[in-house]
Amino acid sequence: MTAVVAADGLGKQYGRRWALADCTLRIPPGRVVGLVGPNGAGKTTLLRLAVGLLRPTAGTIEVLGRAPGDDAGQLGRIGFVAQDTPLYPALPVADHLRLGGWLNPRWDDEMARRRIAQVGLDPRQRAGKLSGGQRAQLALTLAMAKRPELLILDEPVASLDPLARREFLQLLMSIVAEAELSVVLSSHLVGDLERVCDYLVVMAASRVQVAGEVDQLLAAHRRLAGPRRDPRTLPAGQEVIEESHTDVQSTLVVRCGGPVLDPAWTVEELSLEDLVLAYMSRAREQGPADGKLSVLR
Amino acid sequence: MDTRNGCPVIEFHLDARSGVSPYQQIVQQVRQALRLGLLHEGDQLPTVKEAVERLAVNPNTVLKAYKELEHAGLVAARPGIGTFVTRTLSDASLAAHGPLRQELGRWLAKARRAGLDDESIEALFRDVFRSSAAEGVA
């Protein structure tokens, strides 16, 4: 199967700073992919490269098997909702749908109207008068009604209150249950993504730290606690992601190929949040991608 | 949608802090409903779409749970229609549940009056449960 997003050595430089560096990634189709990382990790840069709004400084990226933004045909296969869910404030909801119908050859007007009714939007309401949650729902409906093969959402729930967040994710999941499509959405909060994503890409310090199926990631990581020990003495196949030590005790987060057999360790499973945080703190200790020393705290 | 008096038979809910994965929680809730006699043979589980809309979870999570239940022989999928209960986990003992529940309720009230908090009650119950299970084995 072709990857929906395939990046090789992808990088984007602004002045002396690499917003994204050395990104090699294969995202399999049919997944709901969570792109998670702190603000400034490079998530938006990667998404804007994927939709063709930016051109790479280094490396290549292919989306659905082709270079992004090549032509109208390619654009029609990708739905994109930018961070601030841009709409036309003076236009009513119904006019947004009409505009969508004019501009998109594969527009599904029946679906768009049904979704608008489902989430309780008034077609006569001007977009500028909608609440944040309603704006997000309208933007998602517009992106979906063009029937894309890949839906890309940049921080779709960041600005929403908890109820609007839940409602937005309910709408998104009901869309995913109906249509055969791949979704990539970014967030700086892993809690938002935990339920909806089956594939996770952790970004920090302008780099992809780890990527994979959520189930496999959880199965491959463990927290070990035991008597103080030099992590370099661990068996091959156990990679230390995070470590902390007291005089007598060591606590490690490791990526392991198989079960941890050493009886000296107390072995625990990790939550997805702990796993993400372990990679983020490792990235912070290793420093930013441009290699310059900088003050981290 | 299968309904009794216009309501779905069961609805799922997720506890984000339980540490149990969402798919396991769905499996447990179905098994629990089967054990308590809330679900009977022929009852329909929420469709994947209904469950997904309610819980805001990935459809694969629900599918995975239903597959596991199917594997355990508890439900069967009818393609294009839905997933139906084929076997129940409640048995003849169900009739005894009512009186036992009452007795347990009375015991709980007594424990609270004696000053036990929830944690102590749970610890005590688990301890007695474990030692009586051990006796059963010995």
Closest CA to A81 of A160, A27, A24: A160
Kindly report, residue by residue over B64-117, the tens digit of the pLDDT: 999 999 999 999 999 888 999 998 887 767 778 788 889 999 999 999 999 999
Work out the minimum CA distance from A280 to partner chain B, whole angstroms: 21
Tell me what pLDDT residue A195 has: 87
Rounded to whole angstroms, the maximal C-alpha distance in chain A is: 69
Judged by CB atoms closer than 8 Å, whether chains meet at A170 and B59 is answered as: no
Tell me what pLDDT residue B94 has: 72
Rounded to whole angstroms, the Cα distance separating B58 from B47 reads 13
Enumerate the residues of chain A whose CB falls inside 8 A of the CB of residue B54.
170
Enumerate the residues of chain A whose CB falls inside 8 A of the CB of residue B58.
32, 173, 176, 195-198
With a CB cutoff of 8 Å and minimum separation 6, the contacts of A38 are: A188, A204, A280
Tell me what pLDDT residue A288 has: 59
Closest CB from B21, B56, B59 relative to A169: B56
Work out the average pLDDT over A133-157: 92
Rounded to whole angstroms, the Cα distance separating A96 from A82 reads 16
Closest CB from B19, B21, B59 relative to A177: B59
**A91 vs B6 pLDDT, higher one:** A91
Work out the average pLDDT over A29-40: 92
Rounded to whole angstroms, the Cα distance separating A211 from B8 reads 38
* In contact, B83 and B63? CB cutoff 8 Å: no
* In contact, A17 and A201? CB cutoff 8 Å: no
Task: Kindly state whether B55 is in contact with chain A, defined as any CB-CB distance less than 8 angstroms.
Answer: yes
Work out the average pLDDT over A175-196: 88
Residue A252, judged by CB atoms within 10 A of its CB (0-12, 13-18, 19+), counts as buried
Angle, alpha carbons B114-B115-B118 (nearest 5°): 115
Q: Which amino acid belongs to residue B99?
A: P
* In contact, B83 and B77? CB cutoff 8 Å: yes
Judged by CB atoms closer than 8 Å, whether chains meet at B49 and A176 is answered as: no
- Joined together, the tokens standing for residue B81 give 């229609």
With a CB cutoff of 8 Å and minimum separation 6, the contacts of A289 are: A18, A21, A22, A205, A206, A207
Closest CB from A169, A176, A271 relative to B59: A176
Q: Which amino acid belongs to residue A191?
A: G
Q: How far is CA A289 from the centre of its chain?
A: 20
Q: What does pLDDT average to over chain A? A: 89
> Which positions 18-37 of B are in contact with A (Cβ < 8 Å)?
19, 21-22
Tell me what pLDDT residue A138 has: 94
Tell me what pLDDT residue A263 has: 86
- Residue identified by tokens 């084929």 is B86
Tell me what pLDDT residue A287 has: 67
Prediction ipTM score: 0.74
Instruction: Judge whether residue A297 has pLDDT over 80.
Output: no
**B137 three-class SS:** helix
Kindly report, residue by residue over A59-116, the tens digit of the pLDDT: 999 999 898 877 778 888 999 999 888 899 999 999 999 999 999 988 999 999 998 9
- Joined together, the tokens standing for residue A47 give 């998404």
Report percent pLDDT > 90 for chain A.
Answer: 62
- Joined together, the tokens standing for residue A80 give 């994109």
Instruction: Judge whether residue B3 has pLDDT over 50.
Output: no
Work out the minimum CA distance from A69 to partner chain B, whole angstroms: 29
